[in-house]
Each structure stands twice: as C-alpha cells, then as structure tokens.
Amino acid sequence: MRMTRLARGLWLTAAGALLVGSAGGCQRSAVGAGESGVPAVQVAESRIRVEIAADLTVVSGSRPIQVTVTAVNPTDERVIWGQGSSSCQLVLWVEVDGAEYRGDAARICTADYGDQGLEPGGVRREVFSWGGEVARGGSVERLEPGLYRLRGGAGRFRSEPLEVEVRGR
C-alpha cells in the first residue's frame, strides 16, 4: 500500500504525538524520540538554520559545559517544526555509536503545549548545561570517556556537529 505525502506526514505526526521527550513529556516531536536510539539525521538544506556552540570542548561529570543551540528562520514564512513546551523548543542531541540520544533529559520544561517554531526572521536560543550524559533506555546514562558529536535540533532540523571530549569524573 502506497501512502501519499500528506498521509505519511499525518501518520508521522500521529506517531510522534505518542513519543515523549524530555522532562516528563515536555516536548513531543513528529520526528524521532532520540531516547530509543534514532539514527543520526543529516539535513543538507532546510528552512530553519540550527547552530551549536559550547564554552568548552572538554567535559566531565564534575565540570559540565554550557552548550548554546540557536535556531534561525531566514525565510519570509512562519515555520513550525513540532508541538510541545514553549520553554523547551530546542534539543541537544548526542551521537553515540551512530545513533542520536537526547543530552537534555534532565531539564525542566513548562507544562504548556503548543506549536514550536519561528516567525519569519525569528531567532530562538536555548542554553544547556551538559555533563556528558544521555537519555537512553528510559534512564540517564553517563557516557564513557571519548569523543562525541553534539548537534542542536529544532524538530527534524539539525546543526552541523560539534565534537566534544568526555573525560572521566
């Protein structure tokens, strides 16, 4: 059975509504939950530009880094990428063994629910304190020492990767 683009989009939206994101369901997205090991996403061109930056590139459990994710809408149209909390619209993704996991699972989000997106020319910035953990298998795990690629996300839109070294405690 072949699905039309609209039917597939509606199915993904319905399926995404069942997925729970960070902090007890603060964010729902039609594209992947991350917690179950969604394959890393590469978006060559997009309507939303996502950028990532960090104050340091070495992190340990006792010395977290500040990661800033910025989404920019350079178009002249409103762009909606999902629905969820108004305070937690952007996501910190961490690539582990070729899959993306959420690196922002411990944050607290407002309990409101609405469209997540940007008006034409809009900019949204969120800062994450990250100590080298990911949400994996229903719990938060500390990563083994090594190099990891972080990406900022706004729905299906992703930043270029930022390489960070995780060191022991």
**Quick one: pLDDT at residue 138?**
86
pLDDT digits (tens, 9 = 90+) for 40-58: 444 445 689 999 999 999 9
The confidence band for 151, taking pLDDT boundaries of 50, 70 and 90, is very high
- On the question of pLDDT at 8 being above 80, the answer is no
The pTM assigned to this predicted structure is 0.73
Compute CA 15 distance to the chain's CA centroid, rounded to the nearest angstrom.
18
- On the question of pLDDT at 38 being above 60, the answer is no
Cβ contact 128:152 at 8 Å: no
Q: Which residue has the tokens 């902090």?
A: 23
Q: Which of 124, 126, 144, 125 is nearest to 134 (CA)?
A: 144
Give the count of beta carbons closer than 10 Å to the beta carbon of residue 111: 12
Q: Which two tokens stand for residue 146?
A: 């090594």
Cβ contact 149:158 at 8 Å: no
Secondary structure (3-state) at 17: helix
Set out the domains of the chain in order of their start, with CATH numbers: 5-166 (2.60.40.2360)
